[in-house]
Structure formats: C-alpha cells, structure tokens
C-alpha cells in the first residue's frame, strides 16, 4: 500500500509537471502571437453574440403576397403581380353613380362622353334619334375577319352607319374585329381598315378588337393561340394605323386584359375596357368603359353596347407670381 501511494504521488507530480509545462507553453505561444490572436478573439466573441441574438429573435412571417394586389379577374378574386410601367385605374367606386339606370361619372378628374358601338347586328339606325337621346360618340364596326376560314369582310352597315352618325354631329371612331393569328394578318387587317376610312374624317382612335371565340371551340382558327402572338398582332395593327396618321387603341375585357395581352407592351395606345356593370372594376387605367352589352336607346331597335369615354381634365397652369413678373 505504501508503494502504491508513492507511485500515485509520483504520477500526480508528473501530471502536474506536464500541465504546468503545457500551460507555460500555451502562455508562451499566446505571448508570442498576441498581435493576431487578439483580433481573432474579438471576432469570435462578436460571432457568438450575433448567433445568440439571432437564435433568440422570433422568426419573421414572410408575406406570400408581398408586392401583389387582390383583383377581380372576371371569374373571382385572385392575387396578381402588377405590371411595371402601366398606369393604374384611379376611378373610385364612389365616382360612379346611376341616374335612371345610366352610370354617370361624378368625380373631379375627368370629363365624360356617352357613346354607342354598333355593327350590322343593329340593322338600320335612326341616327337623328340617337343624337337627340344624348349620345356623344359612336364606335362603328368597319369589318371583321372570319373566325374559321379567316376571310376579310366589310361590315354590311359600315358606310350607312358612319355617314349617318357624322351627318348628325356624332363623333365617330371605327373598330375592326380581328382574328389574326400572325403579324402579317394583323397588318393586312390594318391596311383593310385604312383603305376604307381614307375618305372620312375619323374623330376617335382606330380600335383593334381581338376576341376569343369560345363558342367555336377547336373550330376557331385562334384556338389555343399563344398569348405572345396576341401582343405581336396588336402592336403590328396599331403601329400600321399610327404610321398612317391615326391614333390606335386596343379593346379587351378583364380576362384578355389580365391573361391575354401584356398591357405593358400596349401602354402607348388607347385602352377600351369591356366590363359590364355598375363600376369598371379593373386594376389598370383605361380610356373608354363599355358598361353594357344590351342597352336600349331611341333610334336603335335592337339592344346595343353603351360606353363612357373618360377625358382627363386639363389642369390650369399656375399664374406667375408678382415676384416673378419682370419690372417694366
């Protein structure tokens, strides 16, 4: 037992000596390398503090709809990321009221005009009676492309309608019902229009009206047409019209406006929005609102489309102050 105690004491002394040696070596190492060990220690302390702070910080909730808007696309309410460079609709619901069933704009930013849009489906029109009813403008279908074979046709009542409206003091514009499936056809449609309006004084923009023929299904030549082609066709039509000296525009409903056209590519043209109802519930700005597909007015025997045109009021320029007036 005495031998064992001596052995344990010897081992303890050796261990203490080893620890002392190690400690002395570490101290020497630290003393020799303090110039770079000190900054490293500071960095390690900062890292530990930051990690501890982040671990204590509650996780922030991520908004899955950040930067989006909640809109009615015509089928329901959905989230949408707004397009850049496209003006936003600044007409509020309180700006539109109905008098005797007719929507009126009562806001302060626009003057408005009331108008019809007609085609051969309205047959013979008494344009004097239409003018007397308070209609300010008329959009007249000039022609259309067949949605199966693709032929070009002039509207059977185009000439009678444009001449009747003009002779009764109604401002006129024309639209073409397009079923173009490529740029060449869109230019062909624009040329078709330009050839027929050359002899008339057109007051309003020339409108490109492309619509999806749902009822025709797979028989429609535009069935499952790539939406990128829609933009190319609209631009081709509008630019051809513009080069001829007329102001172009594009007609669309909510669905085509949101999911068909890329309105950021068409933003330099006038927009004609088709949203029947009491309020033009559309996120982006527009120039004409088609508010009804089945209005009855004097002079037109069949139901017809009705519209409001919004014309921004010109803000008066501020008069120069007395201080800014040069002395005589």
Name the CATH topology of 91-312: TIM Barrel (3.20.20)
Mean pLDDT of the region 162-179: 98
Class of residue 72 by CB neighbours under 10 A (exposed 0-12, middle 13-18, buried 19+): middle
Whose CA is closest to 311, among 133, 107, 30? 107
Q: What does each C-alpha distance from 222 to 22, 148, 257, 286 come to in angstroms? A: 86, 8, 17, 26
Whose CA is closest to 138, among 160, 107, 154, 105? 160
Task: Give the integer Cα–Cα distance in Å for 315 and 294.
Answer: 36
Whose CA is closest to 237, among 214, 257, 200, 266? 266
Q: What percent of the chain has pLDDT over 90?
A: 68
Amino acid 323: pLDDT: 44
pLDDT of residue 281 exceeding 50: yes
Tokens of 204: 């309003």
pLDDT of residue 22 exceeding 80: no
Amino acid 38: pLDDT: 61
pLDDT of residue 17 exceeding 90: no
Mean pLDDT of the region 6-12: 47
> Given pLDDT bands bounded at 50, 70 and 90, which one contains residue 2?
very low
Amino acid 220: pLDDT: 86
User: Could you identify the residue written with the tokens 């990690």?
Assistant: 51
Residue spans of alpha helices (H) in 87-157: 127-132
Calculate the average pLDDT of the chain: 86
Mean pLDDT of the region 106-124: 97
User: What pLDDT, in 10s, does the model give residues 185-223?
Assistant: 999 999 999 999 999 999 999 999 999 887 777 888 888
Please report, for the chain, the start and end positions of each structural domain, with discontinuous segments joined by +: 22-60, 91-312
CA dihedral of 185, 115, 197, 303, whole degrees rounded to 10: 70
Terminal-residue alpha carbon distance, the chain: 125
Amino acid 224: pLDDT: 82
């Amino acid at each position: 037992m005495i031998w064992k105690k001596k052995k344990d004491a010897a081992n303890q002394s050796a261990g203490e000596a080893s620890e002392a040696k190690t400690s002395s070596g570490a101290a020497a190492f630290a003393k020799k390398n303090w110039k770079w060990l000190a900054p490293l220690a500071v960095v390690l302390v900062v890292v530990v503090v930051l990690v501890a702070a982040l671990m204590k910080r509650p996780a922030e909730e991520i908004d899955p709809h950040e930067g989006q808007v909640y809109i009615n696309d015509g089928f329901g309410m959905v989230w949408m990321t707004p397009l850049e460079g496209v003006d936003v609709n600044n007409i509020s619901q309180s700006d539109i009221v109905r008098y005797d069933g007719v929507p009126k704009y009562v806001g302060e930013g626009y003057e408005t005009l009331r108008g019809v849009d007609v085609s051969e489906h309205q047959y013979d029109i008494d344009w004097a009676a239409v003018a007397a009813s308070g209609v300010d403008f008329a959009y007249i279908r000039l022609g259309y492309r067949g949605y199966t074979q693709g032929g070009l046709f002039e509207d059977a009542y185009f000439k009678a309608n444009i001449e009747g409206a003009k002779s009764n003091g109604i401002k006129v514009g024309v639209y073409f019902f397009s079923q173009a499936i490529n740029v060449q056809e869109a230019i062909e449609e624009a040329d078709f229009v330009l050839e027929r309006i050359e002899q008339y004084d057109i007051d309003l923009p020339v409108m490109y009206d492309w619509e999806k023929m749902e009822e025709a299904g797979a028989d429609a030549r535009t069935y499952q047409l790539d939406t990128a082609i829609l933009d190319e066709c609209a631009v081709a039509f509008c630019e051809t019209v513009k080069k001829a000296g007329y102001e172009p525009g594009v007609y669309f409903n909510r669905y085509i406006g949101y999911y068909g056209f890329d309105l950021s590519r068409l933003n330099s043209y006038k927009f004609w929005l088709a949203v029947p109802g009491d309020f033009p519930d559309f996120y982006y700005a527009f120039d004409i609102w088609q508010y009804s597909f089945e209005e009855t007015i004097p002079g037109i025997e069949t139901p017809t489309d009705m519209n409001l045109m919004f014309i921004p009021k010109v803000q008066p320029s501020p008069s120069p102050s007395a201080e800014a007036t040069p002395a005589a």
